[in-house]
Amino acid sequence: MIQALLSVGLVAASALGVATFPRSVLAFLLFQGSLVFVYRARIPELLRWSLLVVALLVLMPVIGYFNGYYLEVATQVGIFVVLALGLNIVVGLAGLLDLGYVAFFAVGAYSWAIFGSPHANVIFGGGFPLAGGWFYPFLVVGLCTAALTGVLLGLPVLRLHGDYLAIVTLGFGEVIRVLANNLDKPINITNGPKGITPISRPPTPFGLPYGEYFYFLVLLLVVVVVIVNRRLENSHIGRAWEAIREDELAARSMGVPLVRMKLMAFACGASFAGIMGVLFSAKQVFINPESFTFLESIGVLAMVILGGMGSIPGAILGATVVTVLNLQVLKGFSLWLNELKNAGVTVLGYSLADLPTQFEPAKYERMVFGIILVLMMIFRPQGIFPARRRQRELTPHGS
């Protein structure tokens, strides 16, 4: 009863807090924290899910109205949630350490970027960009190209074990990045470091502003992807993946076709990244190779590890925490530090204004990822929300 009251209270209070103090990073963090609390609290399922639905579908857009940046953060979180869920299949379920996951994201992004912008005219001579409405079918195109890339990468590489697989996928990710950076000659496919812009956006339903449109679209995709993940997990495919992760030799000997299942894991994981890539380019209107580096691959890995390998709520939590850390906490810390500097604050006799100008906390994402990875591995390798072995109610059908 107390938890129920607390849940409702926290959500309402924090939402109100954000509305009152739109610039306060703390208020927004509290709002997000309240959602986590609602997820874990011991309250009736109906209450839990009603609160979450209201918070995500109503409160969040309203908050977005007060501070557009928060909506942006929420959308980015959503994008990374899907990426984390995709990598979760590869690393968490099947146990294949892919360090070049961002390559699939890049493939999806560039597929819409090229055809949804005037850039394709450089290659094909005319007729582009495709109208914004093509965005929707291209979500499928992105899915397929990324899945295909996953299979192509997987085929030669899947009989490698653990460490070697990791390094090869890393190398592959780097190859994609260098290609993106350099395929502007002899044929200009990617336009190199200059990137591609402007990328068409689809017309929005009900004349929604783009901020809200992408937020809801991302939310929808998150729901779809979670359902897909759940279904995969609770099927012979998911069980086969887990068996492969547990003991490849035994899995093989029990009739699990290793190569086919691993390829399927790669393709499924890649396809999520592909879809989000297409969405990402339409949302950003401009992409360049800078968004698709090793840093991003490790970032998504950190999300999966933090949340818990193989765990859907874990992937969601991990993506949220890491994205918020980078986009809000670090950045907020940077801004706050600047304010303190300008105000001439001193700490222990040392004036903050004397801090070297090159020191910008917002740039220290790698340190954050690094600390997360090392600490998690040493203290809690199973993650914050470890995958729980689901106790399935196994009632025989009709007997």
Nearer to other proteins, 133 or 162 (CB): 162
**Tokens representing residue 289 in the block:** 């190779």
Q: How many helices (H) and strands (E) does the chain have?
A: 17, 2
Nearer to other proteins, 199 or 387 (CB): 387
Q: Does 203 bind other proteins (CB under 8 A)?
A: no
Nearer to other proteins, 16 or 254 (CB): 254
**Tokens representing residue 120 in the block:** 């394709």
DSSP symbols for 253-282:
HTT--HHHHHHHHHHHHHHHHHHHHHHHHH
Q: Does 389 bind other proteins (CB under 8 A)?
A: yes
Residue 23: count of CB within 10 angstroms of its CB: 12
Can you tell me which of 44, 163, 205, 343 binds other proteins, judged by CB under 8 A?
163
Q: 130: alpha, beta or left, given left = phi > 0 and alpha = psi -120 to 50?
A: beta
- Determine the Cα–Cα distance for residues 126 and 119; give it in Å rounded to an integer: 9
Can you tell me which of 30, 174, 188, 338 binds other proteins, judged by CB under 8 A?
174
Which of 320, 305, 298, 258 shows the shortest CA–CA distance to 166?
298
Give the nearest distance from C-beta 131 to other proteins in angstroms: 30
Nearer to other proteins, 83 or 103 (CB): 103
Cis previous bond, 198, omega within 30: yes
Q: Residues 295-334 vs other proteins: string with x where CB under 8 A?
A: ---x--x---x-----------------------------
Q: Does 253 bind other proteins (CB under 8 A)?
A: yes
Q: Residues 68-107 vs other proteins: string with x where CB under 8 A?
A: ---------------------------x-x-x--------
Is 251 buried (19+), middle (13-18) or exposed (0-12) by CB count in 10 A?
buried
Q: Does 381 bind other proteins (CB under 8 A)?
A: yes
- Determine the Cα–Cα distance for residues 124 and 189; give it in Å rounded to an integer: 10
Q: Does 354 bind other proteins (CB under 8 A)?
A: no
- Determine the Cα–Cα distance for residues 73 and 351; give it in Å rounded to an integer: 32
Can you tell me which of 20, 121, 235, 342 binds other proteins, judged by CB under 8 A?
235
With contacts defined by CB under 8 A, how many residues of the chain interact with other proteins? 80
Only segment of 48-56, 81-89, 166-174, 198-206 that touches other proteins (CB under 8 A): 166-174
Only segment of 29-37, 59-67, 134-142, 350-358 that touches other proteins (CB under 8 A): 350-358
- Cβ proximity of 86 and 268 under 8 Å: yes
Q: Does 367 bind other proteins (CB under 8 A)?
A: yes
